[in-house]
Amino acid sequence: MKKYFLLIAVLFVSSFAWAQSNKEEIDLMQAAFGKDKKAVVADFVKVSPAQKDAFWKLYDEYETQRKALGRERIDLLKQYAEHYFEFTGPQADEWTKKVITLQKKTDELIATYYGKVKAISDGIVATQFYQIENYILVSIRMQVLQKVPFIAHPMK
């Protein structure tokens, strides 16, 4: 029974990884928040009319870079699904190091754009940006992680 659950979960991850990251991201956003990401951000981040154009220009730049990191995340999920039943210790270690590096890049990206948003607005708007981006990221990570089985140590 446990093996069937793992197989189903791995197949889910595999299908998730093969899907286009943009469509999958939209589906996750719809499931989590009932609307697309930009609408969620617009509801939460309150920019003044004078800051609006500059903020959304920065936000679009941020999204382009974040989506590139998202594609890397999808590739890592795909690798996990493909090698789940055959990971060796060194392969699992290498995969995990890539995940950690990608997580750091994502955190650095949000921090960089926090500074850019603050430069064109103020600390409140920048903090709202930081908070909502982290909230969305954690929410989506949790949805994915709930579907991904923990790696098992092979019996010796």
| pLDDT score of 45 | 95
Q: Which two tokens stand for residue 102?
A: 């990608």
pLDDT in tens, 40-75: 899 999 999 999 999 999 999 999 999 999 899 989
CA distance 63 to 37: 10
Q: What are the C-alpha distances in Å from 58 to residues 23, 25, 36?
A: 22, 20, 18
Percent of the chain whose predicted confidence (pLDDT) is above 90: 51
pTM of the model: 0.77
CA distance 51 to 121: 6
